[in-house]
Structure 1
Amino acid sequence: MTKSVEYIIVGDGYAAIFLAHQFIKNNKSFLLFTEGKKSASMVSAGMINPAVLKRFTTFWLAQEQIDSLKNTMTEIEQYTGQNYLIEKPILRVFHDEKEKELWLKKSDDENLKPFLSKDFVKLNSVKNPFECGVVNQSARLDVSGFFSDMMNFLESQNYLIKEKFDYQLLKPNDSTYKDLSFRKIIFAEGMAVKENPFFAEIPVHQNKGHHLEVQLSVPLEDGFTIKKKHFIFPLNNGNYYYGGTYDREQIHHKIDDVAVEKLTNALAEFYPHDFEVKEVKFGFRPTVKDRRPILGNHPEFGNLYVFNGLGARGILNGNYFSINLYHHLENDEEIHPEVDLKRFQ
């Protein structure tokens, strides 16, 4: 007997989960297929950061994305009972006096004024002789809590199918998959899209990121996220996240000792106390050359969609463009031209 749903989502990272939220919020029938592997989203830092902290600039739609995310987290709280935003700001450790002066200069820029505070902070737990800049409106997501609770909710409501999606069994012309009929299917698979015969050619490139889980002998102050070369912040288990690296060349699914050494050396540079590496994790972020996500439908099969290429800003991009995609699917609202798949055709 054929079961009918409006939508199928394939994937379980930020793109898939935020789109699932749009369907839940709007009472749409859907199923989400997950293989149960740890996606790059699930091992991400969860940074919500409106500033580019190398050059003290901001990025496209930063304020709109921050505002939208806060709204979505309030909506999700209504059914999970939790808000996963940890509203502790990012503190950027200055390397020298010149950086501090540049920060002050940039903080007068109209685009950066909402994000770069003129008030500096001095920390006791790390080396910061030139103090730290405070990134206003920055926060982080409780990544493990978010994914765990969302998956449990999806399962409890019978939205979740825990199995690998088999492309061979998809019949786009009939809008059927196995014994399911659907209106539209959205592939939000991250780097697994390279195995998808319908969207394997989209120009996403993998960017491997390592991070460490460390135990610190002296805790950091007040639960802040501190950024020098990398981010460090407390985890729920008393340890700390430190990372992550960016590597476009490496494709093997193993821990890279060079990346681990870079991270431990960088941490030892500014954390003057003993620490112990408890675990090393890595994931592959799907990135796009023009730093824009990819949304759109298949040129031949109008009922097949892709939602990919969220890059290092997976939370902000995933949430914001899931709303754009939802309104496109339901109301024929135009996909923003800068993220539309058609820009590559």
Structure 2
Amino acid sequence: MKKVDYIIVGDGYSGVFLAHQLIKNNKSFVMFSEGKKSASQVSAGIINPVVLKKFTTFWKAQEQIDFLKDSLKEIEGYTGKNYLIDAPIHRIFHDENEQKLWQKKSENSELINFLDKNFDHIEGVKNDFNTGKVNQSARLDVSGFFTGLFGFLENGSQLIKEKFDYAKINTIDSTYKDIEFENIIFCEGMGVKENPFFSEILVNANKGHHIKVKLSEPLSQNITIKKKHFLFPIGDVYFYGGTYDREQLHSHIDESAVEQLVKGLGEIYPYDFEVKEVNFGFRPTVKDRRPIIGKHNEHSQMYVFNGLGARGILNGCYFSKVLYDFIENELPLPAEVSMERFAN
């Protein structure tokens, strides 16, 4: 019988950043990875402290940005690679009113460190009213990040590539097959709906598509451009996306979403382009846009970490430490993320 401090079920941002906390604190663990590409693994990797529709920020944005940068440096210490891409977001303004609103919001104490007061003009895309730069924004090298972390875990015999079987959990002995565990953390995204212990948590699927395109005239700057969607280079192609859909939740590509993306790109890119690839995933979202963290009411060794939504990188990184401190140091969960907030 193998003994571990933790079993992690799920291999998206929540599971991987939780694994980092366990590595930092010398805890033994295994992670179960089904082998399918999660919503995290096909995500854009945007690191953004600003809500770009309304030019507002969100709860603990600066703390999350700072914590992520520190965590990525720690991860570089054992993977040998830096997965942070310094490619700030440039938001294309629709009109002069948006320019004025940005300038006004940039004086706000919550936004002064995020909204750059100087406007830029970006060559190669339509931005008649210029763009505003989001300071402290960046991207994660998503493919490199997951490849690097999975490789590290595999080398340490901590990655188990198989579908987790809930029926094989013995809650009395705290065992799963031939593994004895102290704690088991379910980080499954929308897979939680199949989990008999936490299937009732209030997460809803939000389907997102993105396309990868070949631009006939490549952009001269390695930045992230945003109007309706995000545009940025990945190797010799460009990522453009993603959409948001809470209605069409079937497990295949929606042509209407692809059409929406092609049209959106055509509105800002004046040259020919070719769609090379289409991907989609299901983001686990919560109505108040904050994660869900908690302990099972009957089985005290079981926990859930879910509902990261569109800010999976920031939420997954920051709140993995909150969950770790809740379990190991008996620190209370903030009411804003505790699953008990939906108890009634």
Q: Same fold (TM over 0.5)?
A: yes
Match of 2:56 in 1: 57
Give the 3-state SS of the residue equivalent to 1:174 in structure 2: coil
1:160 paired with 2:159, answer yes
Match of 1:332 in 2: 330
Query: Residues 189-268 of structure 1 correspond to what in structure 2 (within 5 A)?
Result: 189-235=188-234, 237-268=235-266
Cα displacement string for residues 171-229 of structure 1 (whole angstroms, at most 9, x for unaligned residues): 11211111111100000000000000000000000000000000001111321000010
Give the 3-state SS of the residue equivalent to 1:100 in structure 2: helix
Q: Separation in 1 of the partners of 2:57 and 2:188?
A: 28
Q: Separation in 1 of the partners of 2:96 and 2:154?
A: 52
Cα displacement string for residues 122-161 of structure 1 (whole angstroms, at most 9, x for unaligned residues): 0110010100000000000000000011000000011111
Match of 1:171 in 2: 170
Match of 2:284 in 1: 286
Q: Separation in 1 of the partners of 2:318 and 2:268?
A: 35
Amino acid at match of 1:239: V
Match of 1:105 in 2: 104
Q: Separation in 1 of the partners of 2:172 and 2:109?
A: 51
Q: Separation in 2 of the partners of 1:169 and 1:47?
A: 37
Match of 2:305 in 1: 307
User: Could you state the TM-score of these two structures normalised by the residue count of structure 1?
Assistant: 0.99
Match of 2:14 in 1: 15
Task: Give the drift of 1:73.
Answer: 0.3
Q: Separation in 1 of the partners of 2:142 and 2:303?
A: 26
- For the Cα contact (< 8 Å) 1:50–1:115, is it kept in 2? yes
Q: Separation in 2 of the partners of 1:124 and 1:139?
A: 20
Amino acid at match of 2:96: E
Query: Residues 108-187 of structure 1 correspond to what in structure 2 (within 5 A)?
Result: 108-187=107-186
Give the 3-state SS of the residue equivalent to 2:4 in structure 1: strand
Amino acid at match of 2:149: M
Q: Separation in 1 of the partners of 2:172 and 2:226?
A: 50
Task: Give the drift of 1:342.
Answer: 1.2
Q: Separation in 2 of the partners of 1:167 and 1:50?
A: 37
Amino acid at match of 1:316: L
Amino acid at match of 2:251: H
Q: Separation in 2 of the partners of 1:225 and 1:193?
A: 32
Match of 2:320 in 1: 322
Q: How many residues align?
A: 343
User: Could you state the TM-score of these two structures normalised by the residue count of structure 2?
Assistant: 0.99
Give the 3-state SS of the residue equivalent to 2:181 in structure 1: strand
Structure 1: which 5+ residue stretches go unaligned?
none
Task: Give the drift of 1:230.
Answer: 0.3
Give the 3-state SS of the residue equivalent to 1:69 in structure 2: helix
Amino acid at match of 2:29: F
Match of 2:69 in 1: 70
Amino acid at match of 1:257: E
Cα displacement string for residues 246-299 of structure 1 (whole angstroms, at most 9, x for unaligned residues): 001111001000000000011001100110000000000000001110001111
Amino acid at match of 2:121: K
Amino acid at match of 2:158: Y
1:295 paired with 2:293, answer yes
Q: Separation in 2 of the partners of 1:290 and 1:122?
A: 35
Amino acid at match of 2:309: G
Amino acid at match of 2:242: G
- For the Cα contact (< 8 Å) 1:172–1:304, is it kept in 2? no
Cα displacement string for residues 26-70 of structure 1 (whole angstroms, at most 9, x for unaligned residues): 110000001010000000000000010001010110000000000
CA RMSD in angstroms comes to 0.6
Give the 3-state SS of the residue equivalent to 2:282 in structure 1: strand
Q: Separation in 2 of the partners of 1:221 and 1:41?
A: 28
Amino acid at match of 1:171: N
- Aligned with 1:275 (options 246, 269, 273): 273
Q: Following superposition, which runs of at least 4 residues in structure 1 exceed 4 angstroms of deviation?
A: none
Q: Separation in 1 of the partners of 2:161 and 2:87?
A: 34
Task: Give the drift of 1:98.
Answer: 0.5
Give the 3-state SS of the residue equivalent to 1:252 in structure 2: coil
